[in-house]
């Protein structure tokens, strides 16, 4: 839910929980009391927004990419990486 980079509201949690609860148990909806008990049982969860990545991490540096491809090519030749792993790296590279 929090992958949207906005905080999750209590009513959204209740809505999702009611959807799961309705499929598993009964047609009786969960209430705000359930939500409060859930939050009390799970103190590791917090209602805060995700922090966006810094601009420095989002920008791509041409020199760093050149070094990265050089090192990757060197590793492929030296270690003879398996083709499946290499195809995985090629798929993942656009996200760096």
Burial tier of 17 (Cβ tally within 10 Å: 0-12, 13-18, 19+) = middle
**d(C-alpha 96, C-alpha 93), whole Å:** 6
Query: Is the residue at 46 inside a domain?
Result: no
pLDDT score recorded for residue 94: 65
Query: Is the residue at 67 inside a domain?
Result: yes
Give 49 or 37, the one with higher predicted confidence.
Answer: 37
CA distance from start to end of the chain: 23
Could you tell me if 63 and 36 lie in one domain? no
Could you tell me if 60 and 34 lie in one domain? no
Contact status, residue 35 vs residue 16, Cβ threshold 8 Å:
no
Q: Range with the lowest mean pLDDT among 26-30, 36-40, 73-77? A: 26-30
What pLDDT digit, counting tens, does each position of 40-90 carry?
A: 998 887 766 656 666 656 677 788 888 888 988 888 777 766 666 667 667
pLDDT score recorded for residue 61: 79
Q: Which structural domain range is residue 35 located in?
A: 2-41
Q: How many domains does the chain have?
A: 2
**d(C-alpha 96, C-alpha 86), whole Å:** 15
Decide if pLDDT at 17 tops 70. Answer: yes
Query: Is the residue at 47 inside a domain?
Result: no
């Amino acid at each position: 839910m929090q992958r949207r980079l906005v905080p999750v509201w209590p009513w959204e949690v209740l809505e999702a929980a009611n959807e799961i609860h309705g499929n598993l148990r009964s047609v009786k909806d969960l209430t705000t009391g359930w939500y409060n008990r859930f939050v009390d049982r799970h103190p590791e969860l917090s209602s805060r927004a995700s922090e966006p990545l810094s601009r420095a991490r989002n920008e791509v540096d041409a020199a760093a990419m050149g070094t990265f491809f050089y090192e990757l090519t060197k590793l492929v030749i030296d270690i003879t990486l398996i083709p499946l792993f290499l195809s995985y790296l090629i798929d993942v590279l656009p996200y760096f």
